[in-house]
Structure 1
Amino acid sequence: MQLPAGHGTSDLPHTRSGARHWLITALALAAVTAAAALVQPSGATATQEGPSGGPDPARASYPVDCGPLGVVVADRVEADLDADGRAETVAVVHCDAGSGTPPHGVYVLAHPTEEDGAPRVAETLVDPGERMTVDGLGIDGGTISARLLGYSAPEVPRCCPDMRRDVSWAWQDGRLELTVAPAPNSV
């Protein structure tokens, strides 16, 4: 159908929206949103912070000497590593240097011994004194994995690590055991 000159499609009765149209649209969207919130794919799980989650790494005190600078939690993962029914938190931390690449520390945090206490460092996996940075912290089936980046000599610029090693820790015989992957480009 061709419209007479001077008339646009907004002049047609079926193209104008009114309050009733917007109310019906809003109700339909609300119904779809509510249905989506109730329906989950099979096998979907969610965890909430609280007693069943790992300790909050922001509340922990780390054995890191940052002088007047604060400590930054750069990464974290949670899992029940020792199968005691309570998740531990693995936290990657470094000093808040503002620039450069400060070395990282990797710590396993356990729940506090007192109800309102701070989480406690149960184990140090990577000490900042080793002068490494951590990339790609992950956890799969209770095995912690990370890529450690380091420097072969003091002359290597701190922006550009020239050493890399993939490592993992798994709970064995009551403690976390380190496994080091072969060096890149090794036979």
Structure 2
Amino acid sequence: MQPLAGQDLLHTQPHPMHWLATATAVSAVIAVSSLFQPPAATATAAGTASAPAAAAPDPSRVTFPVNCGPNRLDVVQKVSGDLDGAGGTQTVAVVRCHTEAGSPPSGVYVLAQPSDPKAAPRIVATLLAPAQRLSVQDVTLQGRAVSATLQGYSSPAVPRYMPDVHKTVKWQWQGGKFVQSELPASTATDGA
């Protein structure tokens, strides 16, 4: 059998150098074409890069100013939203010392994320300090207002299993700070 015309020519057989030259040429074409994009493509890419919204600050990355002794600190509730109307996202965290029974006092803190996303969130406001000896039963966010249902004790003589002070408070950003408003505290003796 005779070879077909051109099969016996050495330069018609693919060699590794041919593949390397072809790959280099294709890479060069792709690299050069990426330099010559239309202006609209560059603007779209830049607009897309700045569009993602910042994630809500994570309370598990914060060291709260609460001394729990040998017990751990629990984040029992959290809500997130734009509390100050500036376009960022803040987190309201309700924390308390861990206990198997009872309701230890709660702390309510507002967290913000620094500009460096790798940095831990920071506490920007204390809405309720544990020293106030109130426990948070529920926290909600409606619009930019944070509301909480609180309970506590009118005196040390009140049994710790039966809180007699119940109130609802609301915090809202006004004039550069969080302003608290609340309904009057009620006690078990109010109706007597």
Question: TM (normalized to structure 2)?
Answer: 0.66
Amino acid at match of 1:97: T
Distance 2:79 2:105 in 1: 19
Amino acid at match of 1:178: Q
Distance 2:114 2:70 in 1: 26
Aligned to 1:117: 119
SS at match of 1:81: coil
- Across the aligned residues of Structure 1 and Structure 2, the Cα RMSD in angstroms comes to 1.8
Q: CA deviation at 1:175?
A: 1.1
SS at match of 1:129: helix
Aligned to 1:183: 185
Amino acid at match of 2:84: D
CA gap 1:51/1:70 in 2 versus in 1, 3 angstroms? farther
- Decide whether the 8 Å contact of 1:151 with 1:161 is kept in 2: yes
Q: 2:151 aligns with which of 149, 152, 174?
A: 149
- Decide whether the 8 Å contact of 1:147 with 1:165 is kept in 2: yes
Question: TM (normalized to structure 1)?
Answer: 0.68
Q: CA deviation at 1:63?
A: 0.6
Aligned to 1:71: 73
Distance 2:106 2:68 in 1: 11
Structure 1: 5+ residue stretches without partners? 1-49
* 1:81 and 2:91 are equivalent in the alignment: no
Identity of aligned residues (%): 43
* 1:129 and 2:131 are equivalent in the alignment: yes
Aligned to 2:105: 103
Amino acid at match of 2:65: P
Q: CA deviation at 1:97?
A: 2.4
Distance 2:159 2:168 in 1: 21
Structure 2: 5+ residue stretches without partners? 1-51
Q: CA deviation at 1:157?
A: 1.9
Q: 2:163 aligns with which of 161, 164, 170?
A: 161
Q: CA deviation at 1:72?
A: 0.3
SS at match of 1:62: coil
Q: Deviations over 1:127-180 (max 9, x none)?
A: 001111001200101000011101011121222210011110111111111011
Structure 1 residue ranges (4+ consecutive) displaced by more than 4 angstroms after TM superposition: none
SS at match of 2:131: helix
Larger radius of gyration: 2
Amino acid at match of 1:85: G
- Decide whether the 8 Å contact of 1:78 with 1:90 is kept in 2: yes
Distance 1:172 1:134 in 2: 23
Aligned to 1:138: 140
Q: CA deviation at 1:52?
A: 2.8
SS at match of 1:147: strand
